[in-house]
Each structure stands twice: as C-alpha cells, then as structure tokens.
Chain A
Amino acid sequence: MRIELQKRPAVSPLFSMLSPLLALALTLIFGAIMFALLGKDPVAAMHAFFIEPLLETWSLHELAIKAAPLILMGVGLAVCYRSNNWNIGAEGQFTIGAITGSYTPIVFYDWHSPLVLPLMLVMGALGGALFGAIPALLKAHFNTNEILTSLMLVYIAQLFLDWLIRGAWRDPKGFNFPVSRDFAPEAILPAIWEESGRAHWAFVFALIAAVLCWFMMRYTLKGFEITVLGQSERAGRFAGFSSKRMVWFGFLFSGALAGLAGICEVSGSINHLQPAISPGYGFTAIIVAFLGRLNPLGIVASGLVLGLTYLGGEAAQLSIGVSDKVTRVFQGLLLFFVLSCDTLIYYKVRVTWARLRGGAA
C-alpha cells in the first residue's frame, strides 16, 4: 500500500472547515480505544472525560478559567506563527508576566488603590513582551534559531520564579512554604458578574483579544503584512515590508498576550505566586493555535476544547480512576491528528496498492 499526494490547484474550503473536526473525531476514537486497552469501559470513560464537565454550572466556570489563558496565548501565537516566527516559549513569557504583574501587590502590599489591578495587568503584559523580546532580538540581529532560544528561556523563567518564591518574595507568615503572600482584595481579578462563580475577567479579555486579532488579520494592512511575510519573505520585501520588524512584532505581540494570561491566572485563579503556576498552558496553547487553524475565532473554539481536556482529566481521575496524565496524551494525539488532517486541505490523498500496478514502484 502506498499513499500518493497530489497538490490541489487551490486550498480546499471544504476541508479547511472539516479538518479540525475530523481530527477531533479521530482523537475521540483513539481515546476510546486507549481507555478500552487500560481496561476501562470506553463509553463511560469518554462520558466522564468530555460530557460530565459540561453538565454542571460550576464546572462551566472552571472551563472558562482554563480556556482563558489558552485562548489569550493561542491568539498571540497564531499571529506569530502566521508571520513564520516560531515562538514556542509562551510558557516562559506567561511565567515572567505573572512575576512582573505580581510585583505591585507583593512589594507594595500595603498600597490599596483601584489602580493596583490595571497596573498589574499592564506590567504583566509588558513583562511578557520584554521576555519575548529576547528571542526576537537574537533572531533579528544574531540570526539565532528562535525555536531553541525561546524554549531555553522557559526553563530560565521557571527557575527565576522558583528563586523569587523561595527567597525574596516568600510569605513571611507562610511557615516556610514556598508561596508568596495572598494578594489583597484590590489585586484580585473579579468575577465577570456576581453570580458567575469563579469565572473571572480573563475569559472576557480572551474573547476581546480574539475578536481584535481577527479584525487585524482580516481588515488591516498589518494583517496583510503578517500574511505576506509569513508566506514569502521575498514577496514581502518587494512590498516594502521588513521581515526584521516582523520578528519583533510577532514576539512582542505574542509575548504580551502570554504575559497578560500569566498575571490574569495568578491574580484571578491562584491569588498568590507559587513555584508552579501553569499546568503547561504555554505548550497547550500551541495545540490550541493549530487546532484553530491559526484563525483567531477558530482559536476561541479550540481553546474551549483543550480547556475541556484539562477538566476531563481531573474528572476522569476522580470518577473512573485513570491518571490525569491522560490529558497530555489526548492533547498530543489531537495535535498529531490536526497536522495530518491538514494535509487534506492542500493535497488530494490517494491510496494505491502497489500490487495492482504490477509491482512497479
């Protein structure tokens, strides 16, 4: 058996819509098989994983909390990837954003003012952008591979956070536990409306960011510049666009959104700093960006789907006793299937059997 590809004359609009759904369906089928192999009832497991979290109001709030950082970062990464810049260090920019954003409520603990929260958000976004500026500077001026540098910086950011929390920023009344002081009420991102349970404003920020990015990509010159430079640097140069400046734009933009996601998560959900503030959101956001086909509105949907895998993992651990590590497996599988289904958009796939061709390979 062999698989032959034939380039389509134009991108298939049908498969552009279908491929993410197909990928999702394949992931579910594989997931069911995996549960069956683990000796669990696949129907019950899939129900616990993907349906149960959607049935209760409180878990819908949790979904919004999990999806918010994924959408915020996914949208930024999508813009960056569209311009053919590979920022895979969103996890690090998330961490640094959380740190710079927390500077005000931790260092100026006794300063009570309605300005605290806006200042935190701005400083979080700035911190993320500045940290994203490092791989941008290295790529634009030293020609360094941005994939490797942005990833190395993730480890550095996490160690830096660890040092802060175990040293200068440790809660003096925390019995030596590595946590910072709990934020004062002014420094906590409020719930969206009073009865909205725990779901806080980060989800709203995420939706706004997605709509603005969609508008930028579709209707503005900047969006056109991003697309052109991403597809052909040479063509972009003829149009007078600078690929160096695009490197800066891509990284600062995605870094700022990742930083904002970081401070929102710390301020809205955790309410203090601790060594581990993210269950790999920055890496999952890469999957979110691809599942959303790098389209900001698609990313809202894919952010919710990936958010659900986090909730489902926790739920399945409680109700059917599978490890919550299943979440990461699901996420990895999903990205694999998304990438393979994307082939259908650009190519006609034909499966042939070599025997029928008389063995002429």
Chain B
Amino acid sequence: MNIWEAILLTVITASTPLVIAALGELVTERSGVLNLGVEGMMIIGAVAAFVGAQLSGSPYVGILCGIAGGAVSSQLFAFLTLTLVANQVATGLALTLLGLGVSGMIGEGYVSVPGVRLPEIAIPVLSDVPVIGAVLFRQDLIFYLSIVLLLGVNWFLFRSRAGLKLRAIGDSHTSAHALGIHVIRTRYLAVMFGGACAGLAGAQLSLVYTPQWVENMSAGRGWITLALVVFASWRPWRVFAGGYLFGAVTILQLHAQALGLGIPSQYLSMLPYAATIVVLIIISHNRRTTMINTPASLGKAFVPER
C-alpha cells in the first residue's frame, strides 16, 4: 500500500459517518422536520454501539445497538415536536444536550477500555483490482452500507411513490393532509430513519474511526452534518460529495499537523469548523436559490384540523 492509498482510506473513514448521518437528516428534513439533535443521536449511537460490542464481543451487535440507540432517542424528539408540537429548534437542542449527558453517564465505565474493531470485508475478485481494490473493496460493513444508503435514499425520494408523498409533506403539509396523506405518521418514520442513520454514524465512530469510547467523541460532527444538508441543497448525491469534501479537509489538517508546517495545531483543528462556516456563506448568500431548494414547511408545526 502506498501513501496515496493510505490517505484515500483515511479520507473514506472520516467521510463515512458524515455521509450516513447527513443522508438520514436529509430524509427527515425533506419531510419538513428540522431535527437539530443529530449530535445527540450520534453520540448515543456511538456509546450504544461501543457498549453493545463490548458486552456481546461482536461489533455487528454493536452496529445494531448503535442504530437502535439513535432511532429510539429520535422518537423522543418526534413525540415532542410532532405530537406535542413543541418548538423544533429548542427540542433539537434538548436532544443534543440530553444525548451528551446520557452518553457520558453510560460510557463512564468504558473510558480507556480497548474497543472492538469492525473487521474489513474483502469483496472477492474486485478487491484484487490494483489501487481501487484496496481502497474501495476492502472496507468494513458500514462503508458498504453508506453506499447502499446513498443509492437507496436517492431511489426512494425520487423514484418511489412513498418518497413523492414524503416530499409533498415537506413542501406543504396542509395540502398533503388534504390529499389524505398521513402527515404525522410519515414524519415519525422520517425522524426515526434520521435517528437510525445518526446512530449508525455514531457506531462508525466508536467501532471504526477510533475504536474506543471517549466522551464527546462526536466533536461537532452532528452539527457539521446539518450544515452539509444545507450545503447539498437537500440532494443525496451532493450530500455524498459534500461529506467527502469535509472528510478530506479533516484528514488534510491531520496530515498537516503531522508534517509540522509551523502552523499551530489548534488553528489546523479549527479548519473543519471554519470550512463549515465558509461553505454556508457561499451556499446561502443567494436568497432565491436557497428558497427554491428548502422544503417549504421545514421546521413548521403541523396541527391537523379536526
């Protein structure tokens, strides 16, 4: 393996959680719900996956625990914002704060316990292709899942009937309701999908990216994910590209730190966050294009008339 292959591999590892969580949030937001709790669901997924893998000895059980952790915690948000029509911004923040607290408490006994690493799966024949074989086809299960998710979400949103309904709800819940589409039920499912994806992304962090439990190990990735969805103007392929762009920035700053270019490491660590801000400025400054792309009832409460 040469240096370029190694860099590509680390970029993929850094990008995968962003892509997965952003695809989930994209579906949630397309249904008109703004869940700012991605950071919280991700960290719950991370701790659930780590503990699950520790107790069972199998990283695959860990993955399932991570997904379940994210999905269950998302339903707390769903109940508050969809059934009790609480403010979505505030509830999302609450989910993040609660997630950070709960994960810290659950994970306390697991700090500095050596983790279980998710093994790589070599795909026969393809993994022997030079260069791309080692990079793309000798990956762990979660990377393959991220590709499946990308294709699946894209197909679901733009090629399936249920996806059309989901987008209709996101653009006008009142009209969708009048057409007899189950607004609240669909949104519950969309929020749950977003939670499951955030949980899976968390599982990637604690089973692949750094196989151990560290408090606050999501380190703002959930928030970067939210920016990614805006950046991608709510389109799956652009989410994918954006996720890899951010992953590359993260890895480049790590390599720059290792090379010691004379730039203080703290400034390099700022890069992903600063990049998020810059990207948001570039994408948002044109008010009209933002308005066209944003799901029209995003973040608005819906109370069906009876």
Instruction: State the A residues within 8 Å of B (CB).
Output: 3-7, 86, 88, 138, 142-145, 147-149, 151-153, 155-156, 159-160, 162-163, 166-167, 283, 286-287, 290, 323, 325-333, 335-336, 339-340, 342-343, 347, 349
Contact = CB atoms under 8 A, between A and B. Distances in A.
B90 A335 contact: yes
Interface residues of B, number: 47
Contact of A325 (B97, B104, B285, B287): B104
Interface of B: 36, 76, 80, 83-87, 89-91, 93-95, 97-102, 104-105, 108, 219-220, 223, 226-227, 230, 264, 266-267, 269-270, 273-274, 276-277, 280-281, 284-287, 290, 303, 306
Given A144-B281, A144-B284, A152-B276, A335 B267 contact: no
A331 B97 contact: yes
A333 B219 CA distance: 22
A328 B105 CA distance: 9
B108 A145 contact: no
B107 to A, nearest CB: 9
Nearest to A329: B101
Contact of B80 (A143, A290, A339): A339
B interface: dominant SS: helix
Contact of A286 (B93, B226, B269): B93
| Chain A CB within 10 Å, residue with most, of B94, B105, B219, B303 | B94
A7 B303 CA distance: 9
Contacts of B273: 152-153, 155-156
Given A328-B97, A329-B105, 10 more contacts: A138-B277, A153-B277, A155-B273, A327-B101, A333-B98, A335-B93, A336-B91, A339-B90, A339-B91, A343-B85
A interface: dominant SS: helix
Contact of B105 (A4, A152, A325): A325
B105 A335 contact: no
Nearest to A148: B227
Contacts of A340: 80, 84, 86
A155 B219 CA distance: 9
A27 B116 CA distance: 36
Contact of B85 (A159, A336, A347): A347
B80 A142 contact: no
Nearest to B282: A142
A167 B266 CA distance: 11
A151 B223 contact: yes
Contacts of B36: 147
